C-alpha cells in the first residue's frame, strides 16, 4: 500500500464522500494516505464531514478496486491526473464540484492558453454544421488553442471532426469509463483525436454509459473552458445544462441564433433573450470578444516598467502576464496562488497604474 495512486483512487471509492468533502480533507491532511490513517475524532472536527462520513472513511478497506483500476490503466496506457497535480486543468480546479481524478488517454495539454467548449444538438442541421466548421476553420491559426466537447452525435462530432481536419487539439469528455466507447460509431474519430488531444473521463474504466453520468460530465465540458459556444439546442437537454453550468462558473457563453420556428434553435434563442449568452454573429466577432486577436504591445512598455514602484504581489502578476496576449482570471488565480480578494485588489492597482487592462471574457493583459 505504498503506491500514492492507489490511495488517490481509493479516496473516490469511499461511500457518501464527494468532491467537495474530499477537497476539505485534502486541505487538512494534504496527502490521501494520511486521510486513511486518521481517526474518527480527528475527522469529525473538520467542516462538512460529520460522524457518519468519518465512520465511512475509517471503515473503508476496499483497496482492491483501486488496484484493479490501476492495473487497467497500466495495461491500456491511461493516465491518472489527481486534483493536486500540475497537469490538472486550472480552470476546472476553480469549480467547486470539479472531479478529484481525471482519466485521460491520448496526447493532450489540458492547460492550453485558450480553451473553447462547443456543444449542441445530436440532430444538427446543415446550418449548425456550417457554423461550427466555419468557426474552427477560422480558429485554426490561434496559438495554444484547445477545443472541448462530448463526442456525442451531432454538433459534438462535427466539432471534433473539424478540429481533426484543421489539426486543432481536441478533447472528448465521456459519460462512461475508458473501457468502451459510446457511441461506438465514433471509434475511428476518437482514434484520430488521440494524435492531437484525446479522451477524458472522471469514471472508473468499467462505468457504463448510464444516462445519469452524462449530465455530470457536462460540468467538466463547461469548467475546462474559457467560453462555451452553444450551436443548436432545444430548450431542454445536455447543451442547456452545459450553458447554465458555464454561467454558474462565471464563464462566457455564446449562442448561435436561429429561426423562431426552429425547435433546434429554441434553447439558443432563449439563452440570448435571457442574457445568459452573447449573440454569436461570426468567427471574427467571437475572436474579438475573447480578445484573441494578435496585438502589438507598445514599445515603451518595458521602459515604463522601470519607473514603477511594484510590491511583491504586483511583480508576480506582471511576470505572469508578460509575453502573453491575455490571461483569464481563473488561470491567474491558479498560478498566483493568492486569495481571490487579494488578486482582485492587486489587479485593480495595476489597472490604476496603467500597467494592466481588463478585457472582455474576464481576461487581463499588459497594456
**pLDDT tens readout for residues 169-216:** 999 999 999 999 999 999 999 999 999 999 999 999 999 998 888 889
| CATH of span 91-289 | 3.40.50.450
- Does 1.10.150.20 match the CATH number of domain 4-64? yes
What is the predicted pLDDT for the residue at 1? 45
Which CATH number is 301-366 given? 1.10.10.10
Tens of pLDDT, residues 106-131: 999 999 999 999 999 999 999 999 99
324 vs 284: CA distance, rounded Å: 20
Output the tens digit of pLDDT for each of the chain's 367 residues. Answer: 448 999 999 999 999 999 989 998 998 998 999 999 999 999 998 887 889 999 999 999 989 999 999 999 999 999 999 999 999 999 999 898 999 999 999 999 999 999 999 999 999 999 999 999 999 999 999 999 999 999 999 999 999 999 999 999 999 999 999 999 999 999 999 999 999 999 999 999 999 998 888 889 999 999 999 999 999 999 998 999 999 999 999 999 999 999 999 999 999 999 999 999 999 999 999 999 998 886 544 444 444 554 467 888 888 898 888 877 788 888 898 888 888 888 999 999 898 888 898 887 778 888 8
Q: What is the CA angle 363-92-33, rounded to 5?
A: 140
Phi-psi region of 20 (alpha: psi -120 to 50; beta: other; left: phi over 0): alpha
Other CB atoms within a 10 A radius of the CB of residue 348 amount to 12
Tell me the domain boundaries of the chain: 4-64, 91-289, 301-366
- Could you give the CA distance from residue 218 to residue 240 in angstroms, rounded to a whole number? 10
* The dihedral sign for the CA sequence 220, 223, 226, 229: positive
Q: Provide the whole-model pTM.
A: 0.81
Amino acid at each position: 500500500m505504498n503506491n500514492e495512486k492507489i490511495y488517490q483512487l481509493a479516496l473516490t471509492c469511499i461511500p457518501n464522500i464527494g468532491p467537495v468533502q474530499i477537497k476539505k480533507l485534502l486541505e487538512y491532511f494534504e496527502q490521501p494516505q494520511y486521510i486513511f490513517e486518521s481517526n474518527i475524532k480527528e475527522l469529525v472536527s473538520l467542516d462538512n464531514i460529520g460522524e457518519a462520513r468519518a465512520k465511512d472513511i475509517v471503515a473503508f478497506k476496499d483497496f482492491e478496486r483501486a488496484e484493479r483500476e490501476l492495473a487497467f490503466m497500466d495495461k491500456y496506457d491511461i493516465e491518472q491526473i489527481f486534483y493536486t497535480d500540475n497537469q490538472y486543468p486550472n480552470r476546472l480546479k476553480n469549480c467547486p464540484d470539479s472531479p478529484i481524478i481525471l482519466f485521460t488517454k491520448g496526447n493532450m495539454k489540458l492547460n492550453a492558453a485558450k480553451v473553447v467548449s462547443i456543444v449542441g444538438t445530436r440532430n444538427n442541421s446543415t446550418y449548425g454544421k456550417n457554423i461550427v466548421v466555419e468557426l474552427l476553420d477560422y480558429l485554426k491559426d490561434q496559438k495554444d488553442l484547445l477545443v472541448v466537447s462530448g463526442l456525442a452525435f451531432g454538433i459534438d462530432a462535427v466539432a471534433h471532426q473539424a478540429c481533426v481536419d484543421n489539426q486543432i487539439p481536441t478533447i472528448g469528455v465521456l459519460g462512461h469509463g475508458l473501457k468502451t466507447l459510446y457511441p461506438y460509431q465514433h471509434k475511428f474519430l476518437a482514434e484520430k483525436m488521440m494524435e492531437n488531444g484525446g479522451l477524458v473521463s472522471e469514471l472508473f474504466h468499467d462505468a457504463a454509459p448510464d444516462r445519469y453520468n452524462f449530465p455530470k460530465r457536462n460540468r467538466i465540458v463547461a469548467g475546462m473552458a474559457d467560453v462555451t459556444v452553444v450551436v443548436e439546442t432545444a430548450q431542454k437537454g445536455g447543451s442547456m445544462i452545459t450553458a447554465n453550468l458555464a454561467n454558474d462558473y462565471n464563464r462566457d457563453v455564446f449562442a448561435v441564433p436561429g429561426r423562431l420556428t426552429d425547435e433546434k434553435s429554441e434553447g439558443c434563442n432563449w439563452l440570448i433573450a435571457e442574457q445568459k449568452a452573447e449573440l454569436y454573429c461570426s468567427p471574427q466577432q467571437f475572436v474579438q470578444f475573447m480578445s484573441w486577436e494578435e496585438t502589438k504591445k507598445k514599445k515603451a512598455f518595458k521602459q515604463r516598467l522601470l519607473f514603477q514602484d511594484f510590491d511583491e504581489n504586483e511583480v508576480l502578476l506582471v511576470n505572469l502576464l508578460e509575453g502573453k496576449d491575455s490571461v483569464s482570471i481563473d488561470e491567474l488565480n491558479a498560478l498566483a496562488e493568492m486569495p481571490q480578494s487579494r488578486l482582485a485588489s492587486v489587479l485593480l492597482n495595476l489597472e490604476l497604474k496603467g500597467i494592466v487592462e481588463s478585457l472582455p471574457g474576464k481576461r487581463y493583459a499588459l497594456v
